[in-house]
Chains A and B, each alone.
Chain A
Amino acid sequence: MNCQDFEITIIEIARDRLMDAVARERGLEHVQKCASCAMLLVEERALSRDLRALSAGAAAEEIPARLETTLLTAFRQRAVVPTAAPAAAGTRRWLLVAAALALLTFGLSLAGLSLARWIAPSPERESSGASPANGGTALIPTGLSASSGKSGQEQPRAVAVRRPARPILKQQKSAPQVARLWRRFSEERRQKRLALASAKRRSASDDAPREFVTQFFPVMQGGELIPLEGGQIVRVKMPRSNLIPLGIPFNQERANETIQADVLVSNDGLARAIRLIY
């Protein structure tokens, strides 16, 4: 053992506490050879002796009796109500965990409830989708499913599934299932929004009367074309016979009928061009 190793064990040797017998023996052997470490050990032993003396003095010190009297009074005034045993501190943690789990379950139930409300058919869908033939089936919108094979159109985007006799929530208890359903719910909501937007666009184009327009024919003013600086298009309805001075061919048999046209009117108020609308 060298001096540095001795430094590690010197306190234990000086304190006369239980320690590794081999380390103690080697330490004492080192002290025989090293004078400075021997001196150090003497100092440490002196300190330990002083500390023991201090400890003994403190142990002999009287604790005031009034302290016990005060505490006993407090104990009696407290009117001790039997409480849980100390071991209950451990079970209290379990209670906290159980409460946390219950809270989590409640939260998942709420999420599942909203899912169930979404999955359950609305009255309109139920009235349109459920029929005596299919009995307990309902149309459930789904962007993930294929469109109905019978209609061959995408518009309904619904698939007939059997509605469970009990609420769907009851069957979907596990967290992964709920998470999966929630992802599906979000995805389908997005798909539904997109489908609605495209349907609106489609319906808007379907409702508007389809029209075909010709190219613009120039209208000569005084036998010459005046450069156009600006103007606006005005839709008018006029007799087909008015097309004659413009030099535009038309069906003579329908000369008494009217026709729609877009007239390009320049800023000076003169008609500069015209196109026909059928």
Chain B
Amino acid sequence: MNAFETCSNETLLRLMMAGDEEAFTRLYRRLRGVVYRFARQMSGSSSVAEDVTQEVFLILLRKAELYDPGRGSLSTYLVQIARNEILRRLSRDRAYVSLAADAREGDVPPDENLDENLIVRSSPLGNLVRNEEIESVRQAVLALPLHYREVVVLCELEEISYAEAATLLGCAVGTVRSRLHRARALLKQRLRNGEATEQDGLQVNRASCLG
């Protein structure tokens, strides 16, 4: 067993800062997934996710000493950098998140990405329907307002705890909960009817629960 496998992220970071290339490689392989997926889900674009991931690790290379272990885990720190980078890109060039453009982008086909356990192999038609459903969910997530989208990506897709998401987003845990609640209402509404506004989603959710 390689000694690096048992090292914590912080230890690997120290070794990386001391110039250990193997430590950097290990650290990158451990943390690239969460950064890349976050960027991918937030932007809806593989190329943007690639750029953001590269930028995040370059920042880590250049300014590793800025990381403070007392303020959260290294993965949270990197996702935070990724979030800032995405927000910067979104404000700079909104064409990157154009849903129509993204749909034509020609990313990896969904059927190659799905978890094998989620696909009913015996039914090609069922696979197709399921893939369409997942694609519609992806589009619905991308159509969410930014502050709702990032909560869904962090808490639902990346399964980060509320507390960690709150630290990452710089808000209270209660804010994360309420945003997630509203985001799910919007998602349900969009998936049910296609187009919906935020207000509609909230009204529908509340009305359906009064019984």
Contacts and interface: CB of A to CB of B under 8 A. Distances in A.
Majority secondary structure of chain B interface residues (helix, strand, loop or mixed): helix
A255 to B, nearest CB: 106
B111 to A, nearest CB: 9
Nearest to B117: A56
A80 B17 contact: yes
A86 B64 contact: yes
B137 A58 contact: no
Given A43-B188, A47-B184, A90 B209 contact: no
A171 interface: no
The contact size tier of chain B is 35 or more
A7 B209 contact: yes
Interface string B1-31: 0000000001001101111010011001100
A152 B9 CA distance: 83
A51 B115 contact: no
B176 to A, nearest CB: 12
A62 B67 CA distance: 28
Interface stretch (B91-99, B150-158, B164-172): B150-158
Contacts, number: 153
A71 B40 contact: no
Interface string A217-229: 0000000000000
A247 interface: no
A276 interface: no
A86 B209 contact: no
Nearest to A71: B57
Interface string B132-174: 0110011001000000000010001111000000000000000
24 contacts: A4-B209, A6-B209, A11-B180, A40-B209, A44-B184, A51-B137, A52-B118, A53-B118, A55-B159, A56-B118, A58-B41, A61-B36, A61-B108, A63-B32, A67-B32, A68-B28, A72-B24, A75-B24, A80-B61, A83-B17, A84-B17, A86-B13, A86-B68, A89-B68
Interface of A: 3-4, 6-7, 11, 15, 34-37, 39-40, 43-44, 47-48, 50-64, 67-68, 70-72, 74-76, 78, 80-90, 92
Given A47-B188, A52-B118, A82-B19, 12 more contacts: A3-B210, A36-B210, A51-B137, A51-B152, A56-B114, A61-B40, A61-B108, A68-B29, A74-B58, A80-B61, A86-B65, A90-B70
